[in-house]
Amino acid sequence: MAAAAATAASKGNGGGGGRAGAGEASSSRKKKGPGPLATAYLVIYNVVMTAGWLVIAVGLVRAYLAKGSYHSLYYSIEKPLKFFQTGALLEILHCAIGIVPSSVVLTSFQVMSRVFLIWAVTHSVKESGHISLKKEKVKNRLQTPLKTWKLERQTTVCQMAELKVQSEDSVLLFVIAWTITEIIRYSFYTFSLLNHLPYLIKWARYTLFIVLYPMGVSGELLTIYAALPFVRQAGLYSISLPNKYNFSFDYYAFLILIMISYIPIFPQLYFHMIHQRRKILSHTEEHKKFE
Amino acid sequence: PYRAVQVEILDAKTREKLCFLDKVEPQATIAEIKNLFTKTHPQWYPARQSLRLDPKGKSLKDEDVLQKLPVGTTATLYFRDLGAQISWVTVFLTEYAGPLFIYLLFYFRVPFIYGHKYDFTSSRHTVVHLACICHSFHYIKRLLETLFVHRFSHGTMPLRNIFKNCTYYWGFAAWMAYYINHPLYTPPTYGAQQVKLALAIFVICQLGNFSIHMALRDLRPAGSKTRKIPYPTKNPFTWLFLLVSCPNYTYEVGSWIGFAIMTQCLPVALFSLVGFTQMTIWAKGKHRSYLKEFRDYPPLRMPIIPFLL
């Protein structure tokens, strides 16, 4: 959904140099757009982001060619992924100060869901895997007979190994979806700001989502699902009673709620994008006819 | 010479002619026209009609007289359906009765909320009983004010608001009540001192809030929709009017801060924060409309927090 929201949210709002929805002709009449200084800054921002995601794409390809398999590819691009995806938080600021004509709420939702997946799921769960294994060893040894303990320990290690691999495959799924989407999206903005948008980029932005959205959503959901056992075991980000502030939070339940929320949200975003596609790509066709 | 007027009502979006009223009196009000329109389209009762001179313009008021509007012998009005409406009183009563009832379910530890061994047990902490009294008092006060004190400028609001509002009030009430009445509840760090101070804040702010509601009621005669600048009265609690436009909101936030300190419960603090955010938005809007309507509005006043916000 972070993948879906990324483009849907911005496309919902037309006009201007930033998150353009409708064709340039109709939008430039209605909105005044950012000033020259803001435009320069936005061009630089979008170029940098395009470059960043290209680095990630290249990193993935090189790692794949070097290793020959798609395992552990996440680790090769982990740092730039975190850096550039987190950097997208600036886009909320852009909307807030008005240099990009998008809704702050929609943009926040989109960026936050990406950042959440990167840090609160993929990053956090990777580390807690090791910690909980140690805890399990000490606890169980004292309470169970040796044979049972050895069997349980083996199972746990297998589970851990299995889960790490699982989470990597699904992580790769959404990383690839995001990478392609973001390269196109940021180059779209760059060209729009410079008032020279190649049809290919516009076409790509409004067409590739058909495959990339479901791909990204699948990767995200599978990753969250894979993270669940870790979260349960380590009690990750969870607070239980009693405590001084009389508050409790179950991260495991929270993640399940997040997964459920994909059910109403994803179809809405997806069909909104399809609707936008019909509107924008057919509009350009007509425009071309009159030229 | 007496001259009857004709009124045609068109759909604001489709421009379709919906109704043609023959021989309407020039002194007819919009309210009367709405009633006539309902006769031909009974599904659109007056409360859900928005009539305007321009399809994209502002809604005309019920009190507006046809004669005084810029229309010729045939008045063209544009209609917009506001959707199903529900009365403000109904919404208020429902959204306030919920928390009152829900909190008590948790307080009495009704089965299936906490573990079965806690069913119908009572907390050993005094502050928990005090919190129940305060919370219940607060919502009883609100219900009584809705029935006997408030004079609403609008009759109705869109139906979907009741679902939104009830989810907010009922949801937060359940969330707060769950922790305060939990068998593992931890009383405030600074003990009785903290509770006493917080209780004082709560009581003062409740009295303040009530005083403001009474003062606002007295500003407006029964059945009217007039608007005047509120001023401090002999009641010291109303002296906050010198510094803020909406002291009722100021006192309301104060009450909840008091309750949060008293229970030392994070969900209560979060509820106070969300409420404060919403009330600030309302206060700023009210303040702006005061400034627009009254040239001589006191300049010292801020919307909700003296000198600051």
pLDDT in tens, B133-188: 999 999 999 999 999 998 877 788 999 999 999 999 999 999 999 999 999 999 99
CA pair distance B203, B205, nearest whole angstrom: 5
Contacts of B182 in chain A (CB under 8 A): 241, 246
Q: Which residue in A24, A10, A18 sits closest to A99, CA to CA?
A: A18
Contacts of B179 in chain A (CB under 8 A): 241, 246-248
Q: Which residue in B166, B62, B183, B169 sits closest to B128, CA to CA?
A: B183
State the residue for tokens 């600021």. A93
**Continuous segment of H or E residues that includes residue A213:** helix A209-234
- Chain B, residues 232-271, CB within 8 A of chain A, namely 263-267
Nearest residue on chain B to A241, alpha-carbon basis: B184
pLDDT at position A33:
63
pLDDT at position A126:
63
Contacts of B266 in chain A (CB under 8 A): 245-247
Q: Which of A53-57, A109-113, A195-199 has the highest mean pLDDT?
A: A53-57
Contacts of B265 in chain A (CB under 8 A): 245-247
Q: Do A246 and B189 touch (CB under 8 A)?
A: no
Q: Which residue in A107, A10, A94 sits closest to A44, CA to CA?
A: A94
Q: Do A241 and B182 touch (CB under 8 A)?
A: yes
CA pair distance B151, A15, nearest whole angstrom: 44
Distances (CA, A) of B55 to B10, B52, B76: 9, 6, 10
Give the torsion through C-alpha atoms of B28, B30, B31, B37, to 10 deg.
100
* Percent of the residues in chain B that have a pLDDT greater than 70, as a whole number: 98
**pTM of structure:** 0.77
Q: How many CB pairs under 8 A join A and B?
A: 29
Distances (CA, A) of B13 to A194, B54, B55, B79: 37, 11, 7, 8
The DSSP string of A51-112 is: HHHHHHHHHHHHHHHHHSSSTTHHHHHHHHHHHHHHHTTHHHHHHHHTSS-S-HHHHHHHHH
Q: Do A247 and B265 touch (CB under 8 A)?
A: yes
Distances (CA, A) of A286 to A230, B64, B165: 54, 47, 46
Contacts of B189 in chain A (CB under 8 A): 244
Greater confidence, B1 or A104? Answer: A104
DSSP label at residue A249: B
Per-residue confidence band for B19, with pLDDT thresholds at 50, 70 and 90: confident
CA Rg value for chain B = 24
Contacts of B184 in chain A (CB under 8 A): 241-242
Q: Which residue in B295, B152, B154, B137 sits closest to B229, CA to CA?
A: B295
A127-131, B59-63, B198-202, B207-211: segment of lowest average pLDDT: A127-131
Greater confidence, A4 or A83? Answer: A83
Contacts of B186 in chain A (CB under 8 A): 242-244, 246
Q: Do B184 and A242 touch (CB under 8 A)?
A: yes
A152-156, B85-89, B184-188, B241-245: segment of lowest average pLDDT: A152-156
Cβ-contact A226, A163 below 8 angstroms? yes
- Tell me the catalytic residues of A: 213, 220
**Continuous segment of H or E residues that includes residue A258:** helix A251-290
Q: Which of B184, B189, B264 lies nearest to residue A241, judging by beta carbons?
A: B184
Nearest residue on chain B to A240, alpha-carbon basis: B184
3-state secondary structure chain B: CCCCEEEEEEECCCCCEEEEEEEECCCCEHHHHHHHHHHHCCCCCHHHEEEECCCCCCCCCCCCEHHHCCCCCEEEEEEEECCCEEEHHHHHHHHHHHHHHHHHHHHCCCCCCCCHHHCCCCCCCHHHHHHHHHHHHHHHHHHHHHHHCCCCCCCEEECHHHHHHHHHHHHHHHHHHHHHCCCCCCCCCCHHHHHHHHHHHHHHHHHHHHHHHHHHHHHCCCCCCCCCCCCCCCCHHHHHHHCECCHHHHHHHHHHHHHHHHHCCHHHHHHHHHHHHHHHHHHHHHHHHHHHHCCCCCCCCECCCCCCC
Written as six digits, the tokens of A248 are 């409790």
Nearest residue on chain B to A242, alpha-carbon basis: B184
Q: Does B277 touch chain A (CB under 8 A)?
A: no
- Which chain A residues touch B if contact means CB-CB below 8 Å? 241-248
Q: Do A241 and B267 touch (CB under 8 A)?
A: no
Interval B90-132: pLDDT, tens:
999 999 999 999 999 999 999 999 989 999 999 999 999 999 9
Contacts of B171 in chain A (CB under 8 A): none
Q: Kindly report the nearest CA distance between residue B179 and chain A, in angstroms.
A: 6
Q: Do B180 and A241 touch (CB under 8 A)?
A: no
Q: Kindly report the nearest CA distance between residue A252 and chain B, in angstroms.
A: 18
Task: Tell me: pLDDT of B225 over 70.
Answer: no
Per-residue confidence band for A55, with pLDDT thresholds at 50, 70 and 90: very high
Q: What average pLDDT does chain A have?
A: 79
Average pLDDT of the segment spanning A240-264: 94
Average pLDDT of the segment spanning A268-274: 90
Task: Tell me: pLDDT of A46 over 80.
Answer: yes
Q: Do B265 and A242 touch (CB under 8 A)?
A: no
Q: Do B182 and A246 touch (CB under 8 A)?
A: yes
Using a 10 angstrom Cβ sphere, with 0-12 exposed, 13-18 middle and 19 or more buried, the burial of residue B25 is middle
pLDDT at position B181:
96
Distances (CA, A) of B10 to B49, B51, B73, B159: 12, 9, 16, 24
Q: Kindly report the nearest CA distance between residue A29 and chain B, in angstroms.
A: 20
Q: Do B186 and A244 touch (CB under 8 A)?
A: yes
State the best of A246, A247, A248, A257 to mutate against chain B, taking most chain B CBs within 10 Å.
A246
* Percent of the residues in chain B that have a pLDDT greater than 90, as a whole number: 63
Using a 10 angstrom Cβ sphere, with 0-12 exposed, 13-18 middle and 19 or more buried, the burial of residue B107 is buried
Q: Kindly report the nearest CA distance between residue A148 and chain B, in angstroms.
A: 32
Q: Does B185 touch chain A (CB under 8 A)?
A: yes
A2-6, A99-103, B302-306: segment of lowest average pLDDT: A2-6
Q: Do A248 and B185 touch (CB under 8 A)?
A: no
Q: Which residue in A48, A71, A44, A45 sits closest to A60, CA to CA?
A: A71
